[in-house]
Amino acid sequence: MAETPWQKPRHLPDVGVIITAIDETWSLRETVDTLLRENPDTIHEIMIGIAPHTTQACRAVIAELESAHPAIVRHHEQMELCGAGGANRECIPLMRSPWILLIAADLETHPGTAAEMIERAGAGDVDIVATSRWLGGSRFGDYSPLKWICNWLFQWMFSRLYRVTLTDMTFGFRLYRARELCRYAWRETGHAFFFEALITPLRCGARVAEVRTHWRKRREGTTHMPATEYLRYFRIGLSTRARPARSLMAAAPEGSRRCPRPR
């Protein structure tokens, strides 16, 4: 949905953060330090999702962060689902906050943007605050020309297919009302989850706003997204558009606190 004019919020929401980490060390530390330094009154919990193959160096940094911020930082060892999307899906039911920020540990998702995202959410008229690398004043940093063109074409195609004016539907750096992450029967476990996690709420009437952000290529660690994952973006984009909205919803199990456990 298109963004509507908004007024500055009277109060800011309480936010929990999910960070996925594999081989990041100093960039993970900078991400957490920036989030806490710039949002001391709004970010109250940080969950770091780690996989079985998360490096020992990364785990050591996580232990240091948990020791430095024992009331805020904790981690979850990925057990049931694989992939970056799977890590987020496992962490979501463990969160206590009414708003959840999804961010990576590699600084490609600029943590300095979080304050503006939280302020935008505080206006109370949206369910998701997405970030865009395409809005005026944003930048892509080290994107190759071919990747830049392909990304633009993909955004153009799916923004029209979903009848929205959003400019960056694939970038997984977003702030959600927690209920928006708990309403749906997610299917993806890889990076395509981040696309699914926008288009599925859109199909079901979620209100989405965008704020601009800057992207730069990671300077630490390696990307863990296989080339075949791009095909899944097309598959989930087309199939979600074709399905009835009611078929996208998840039924919470009886007695659950808020979110169904991942399957």
Domains and CATH numbers, the chain: 15-241 (3.90.550.10)
Under a CB-based contact definition with an 8 Å cutoff, are residues 115 and 4 in contact?
Answer: no
| Strand bridging mode 208-212 / 128-132 | parallel
pLDDT higher than 90, residue 140 = no
The DSSP element (H or E) to which 175 belongs, if any, is strand 174-177
Q: What is the mean pLDDT of residues 193-206?
A: 97
Q: What is the mean pLDDT of residues 168-182?
A: 96
Average pLDDT, the chain: 89
DSSP of 47-93: EEEE-TT--HHHHHHHHHHHHHSTTTEEEEE--S--HHHHHHHHHGG
For residue 213, name the pLDDT band (cuts at 50, 70, 90): very high
Q: Is the pLDDT of residue 220 over 80?
A: no
Other Cβ atoms less than 10 A from the Cβ of 22: the count is: 21
The DSSP letter of residue 154 is H
For 132, the 3-state DSSP assignment is strand
pLDDT at 228: 75
pTM of the model: 0.90
DSSP string, 211-222: EE-B----SSS-
